[in-house]
Amino acid sequence: MSIFKRFLFAAFVFSLSIWALMNKPFQLGLDLKGGVSIILEAQEAPDRAVTNEDMLGIIDVIRGRINALGLTEPLIMKKGINQVVVELPGVSDLDRALSLIGETAQLTFHEAQWGPQNVERLTEEEKTLLFGADANIVYFNQELSSNDVLRRPLILGKKVLQGSQIAEAYAGTDPYGSPVVNIKFNAEGSDIFYTVSKNNVGRPIAMLLDGVPISAPNINEPIMGGTAVVSGSFTTEEVKDLVIKLRAGSLPVPVEILSHRFVGPTLGLDSIKGGATAGMIGFGLVILYMIISFRFFGVMAVVALGYYATFTLAILKLMDATLTLPGIAGLILTLGMAVDANIIIFCRIKDEYKNGDTMGSSIKEGFSKAFVAILDSNVTTLFSAMVLFWLGTGSIKGFALTLSIGVLVSMYSSLFVTKLFIELFLSRFKLPHYLLISGGTHD
């Protein structure tokens, strides 16, 4: 490929990188942006232990709920045997996150009947006398036609439907403008709901979410079509969250929130400033060393490093990769690795020049003979990064990703871009020998 074609390709890549840096924001991780960190533990039932399938189901359901919120790059991973770690960068409402993630969201439908009015709570004796000792009673705030609210017992019968038989759920409003959840059952659920509504005309159907009554509408006539409305004293946000839970499904087993914390953005800002400072100091020392040690070639390497840094950051932005503090460390590390490749090349050029070759021939042979050594060292680093990405979690994956991208771009930068800059400059300008290299037989 001619120098002109290589220059056009490098210019196109650089232009695309500048566009990405100017038009796409960085996705920052929890340690940089702040957010919510939650640890959940699956609870064993008396008759069964928590299985690996249960844990995978919990992760899938939580991921579905979080994705519905439109959050970018959440971390959801298994920890130990029965724990799940959830990290949500950029989330500031801890209570909502806990409600959305921690609730099992098991929606059930029960045949029911109202208990006596003007009774807010039955004693055990009254419960046994009226309905029997085994009666399942919950207490529900019933809205009356006068807009008054009456708290009264609700006697639950058998469970007739559950959330797994819901095909669709979406937010809506009732005729009075109050937020409600519209649900549509699958074929099996539609048949059951029609039969239950036909057999319970004049009586309520109780809807419970994780055992808490949220609605108990009276059935006025058999309901066909497999649709129902879940109403209650919901806010618009509560309806949205309930829709998310119903669409994502219920957790296979209940979970307990072991710990939760809000990570403020102050730590993130300090980390970004510290990382930027470290990068600038490191880059400055690299520039100083390269120019003193390799003169003109060092200058070309520094220009290529600027190209490398721009291209690497652009790739991370285009991939919507989450930048974490270990990721920044990975970028700084690959900056040093990119310099290392240039040092190998320049030392080979110097050796060839000492043996009496011309400068043009020394440059060609230096890049050619250094290629194998650079390839071997970078491939072994890539293998290590792949293992880290495969076995690591969270920020370790971020470090492995940035390291891998940095290694690949550093190879392109040192073997292609640096050589291009050197050839372009020397084809246009004739530099004094002492600015090119030292220690050769031509001194």
Least confident stretch, 48-52, 223-227, 247-251, 382-386: 247-251
Over residues 57-69, mean pLDDT: 79
Nearest partner of 155 among 212, 115, 188, judged by Cα: 115
Using one digit for the tens of pLDDT, what is the confidence trace for 327-385?
A: 777 777 777 777 888 888 888 888 887 777 777 788 888 888 888 888 888 888 889 88
What pLDDT score does 440 carry? 41
162 in Cβ contact with 109 (< 8 Å)? yes
Could you tell me which CATH number the domain at 3-23+265-436 has?
Answer: 1.20.1640.10
Task: Assign 190 a pLDDT band (cuts: 50, 70, 90).
Answer: very high
Q: Which residue has the higher pLDDT, 124 or 112?
A: 112
Quote the distance between the C-alpha of residue 5 and its chain's center. 39
Domain 35-103: give its CATH code.
Answer: 3.30.70.3400
Q: Which sign, positive or negative, has the C-alpha torsion 367, 369, 371, 377?
A: negative
pLDDT at 25 over 70: yes
Roughly how many angstroms between the first and final C-alpha of the chain, as a whole number? 33
The mean per-residue pLDDT over the stretch 166-194 comes to 88
Could you tell me which residues come within 8 angstroms of residue 260 by beta carbon, excluding any fewer than 6 positions away?
36, 37, 38, 39, 94, 97, 98
Q: Does domain 107-236 have CATH number 3.90.700.10?
A: no
Mean pLDDT score of the chain, rounded to an integer? 80
pLDDT at 407 over 70: yes
Segments making up each domain of the chain, as ranges: 3-23+265-436, 35-103, 107-236
426 burial class (0-12, 13-18, 19+ CB within 10 angstroms)?
middle
pLDDT of residue 195: 92
Going by their DSSP bridges, the two strands 35-42 and 255-263 should be labelled as antiparallel
Coil/strand/helix, residue 169: strand
For residues 214 and 307, the model is more confident at: 307
Tokens matching residue 309? 């840094």
pLDDT at 421: 85
pLDDT at 266 exceeding the cut of 60: no
Query: Residue 266 has which token pair?
Result: 């102050």
Q: Categorize the per-residue pLDDT at 191 as very low, low, confident or very high, splitting at 50, 70 and 90.
A: very high
At 208, give phi and psi (nearest 5°): -120, 135
Q: What is the pLDDT of residues 141-164, one digit of tens each?
A: 666 555 666 677 888 888 888 877
**Geometric angle at alpha carbon 249, from 192 and 95, rounded to 5°:** 130
Residue 393 has pLDDT above 70, yes or no: no
